[in-house]
Amino acid sequence: MPANYDAAHDRLTEYMRRKGLKLTRQRETILRAFLSGQKHVAIDGLLAETRRLHPGVGHATVYRTMKLFVEAGIAHEHNFTDGPAQYEPAEAGNDEHHDHLICTACDRIVEFENDEIEALQDRVAAGHGFRLTDHRMQLFGVCEGMATRGICSIR
């Protein structure tokens, strides 16, 4: 069982109870597959992992369940490129912010945190009379492996 499964399961159970929905075995299997897989996953990748655990799960079920996970605060949905949306786990009870570097050649995604960038964003916003409540930074480029060898160093 993934380390963060219990907290996410509790959050999902409470969300489903408030909405009057059932926490089905398929939804629990999708949650397990989602939390034990890649950090950033598209529906098709999650479907493959889910079917490994529960062969009868369909594409529409995974899609609808991921929408529920986003609404429940268990997952974040990202549209990094023109391709399909990707999902990453939201750390239950932890609103840690991070940004993303995305390789446009191999789709590698690197998460990073930088206090200087965060402070600069706050200063820029304040200079324009804003108080930031949220933001997303996505930097696009070519990873080192693609730039030097034409091969992604991760995949």
* Domain regions of the chain by residue span: 5-89, 99-149
Reply yes or no on domain 5-89 having CATH 1.20.1260.10: no
Residue 103, phi then psi, degrees to nearest 5: -80, 125
Question: Which of 41, 38, 116, 132 has its CA nearest to residue 80?
Answer: 41
The 10s digit of each residue's pLDDT in 42-91 is 899 999 999 999 999 999 999 999 999 999 999 989 887 777 888 988 86
| Average pLDDT taken over every residue of the chain | 86
Asked if the model's pLDDT at residue 155 lies above 70, the reply is no
pTM value?
0.69
The 10s digit of each residue's pLDDT in 107-133 is 788 878 888 988 899 999 999 999 988
**CATH superfamily of the domain spanning 99-149:** Ferric-uptake regulator, C-terminal dimerisarion domain (3.30.1490.190)
Q: How far apart are CA 12 and CA 15, in angstroms?
A: 5
